Amino acid sequence: MLKTVSLSAYYGKIRALTNVSLHVKKGEFVSLIGSNGAGKTTLLNSIMGHISNKTGKIYFDEKEITNFNTEKIVSLGIGYVPEGRRIFTDMTVEENLEMGAFLIKNKSKIKENIKQIYEIFPVLKERKKQIAGMLSGGEQQMLAIGRALMLSPNILLMDEPSMGLAPKIITDLYNKLKVLKKSGITIFLVEQNAKIALKYSDRSYVLENGSIILQGKSSELLNDNELLRAYLGKEYKDKWER
């Protein structure tokens, strides 16, 4: 469903990604893990058309989208949940969801999609008239996901969904992602929290200094602690053991 081929990306003359090739099959839950600054967000920004200074190829459903703009990419069926959620904090929960449906002209379809989001995230229905900035961190993350789901995407790209959340909230959130996967949505996310990403995903890639240095079944990588510690850095050791 999604594929990058020898993708490199640049900020000015600085190369942030180097020949990254990866793929996500329909129905998969794939994670990209790596330490802070490895280039994970740059990869998502490259796929979503936020970075134009790049080489290589990006494909979605076997169609090249390398140089498409963001609106075109979203219209093809790619949902995106950015790092830091970026919800509209002065709007209500329901208004945020409506903003996610900016490409839908049919009002009844918008209402139908909102109803489906509320079924997935009941807490959002309870808070639908509440100002989004007053939600907890976990609720804001669910709102960001719900907003991305409003266009009924075929694949959902997520950037650091666990950032700033308590362990129990992270587990609840990832259980929701399992539900989305079972409903037929393909998921590709980047995470610094490697342990949780490996626990829930089918396959994973490890990114270091802008390059893929390891890939495989998440269950196998999860049990190879020494290898992960070697690639993810010394500062990760204590976090992994907790």
Q: Is residue 180 part of a domain?
A: no
How far out from the chain centre does Cα 137 lie?
16
Provide the pLDDT confidence category of residue 70 given band limits of 50, 70 and 90: very high
pLDDT of residue 223: 80
User: Are residue 38 and residue 101 in the same domain, yes or no?
Assistant: no
Same domain, 159 and 234: yes
- Give burial (CB, 10 Å; 0-12/13-18/19+) of 76: middle
Amino acid at 115: K
Judgement on whether residues 137 and 213 belong to the same structural domain of the protein: no
Highest mean predicted confidence (pLDDT) among 60-74, 88-102, 227-241: 60-74
57 with 145, same domain: the answer is no
Contact assessment for residue 47 and residue 53, using Cβ atoms and an 8 Å cutoff: no
Q: Which domain holds residue 113?
A: 83-152
How far apart, in whole angstroms, are the C-alpha atoms of residue 3 and residue 58?
Answer: 6
Note whether 149 and 117 are within 8 A (CB): yes
Does position 216 have pLDDT exceeding 90, yes or no?
yes
Structural domains of the chain, count:
2
Clarify whether residues 129 and 202 are in a common domain.
no
**Do 69 and 33 contact (CB within 8 A), yes or no?**
no
Q: Are residues 45 and 161 in the same domain?
A: yes
Rounded mean pLDDT, 31-44 = 90
Residue 95 sits in the same domain as residue 48: no
Q: Are residues 66 and 87 in the same domain?
A: no
| Local structure of 182: helix, strand or coil | helix
Q: Tell me: do 148 and 163 sit in the same domain.
A: no
Which helix (H) or strand (E) element contains residue 17?
A: strand 14-24
Task: Write down the residue that tokens 């997935």 correspond to.
Answer: 120
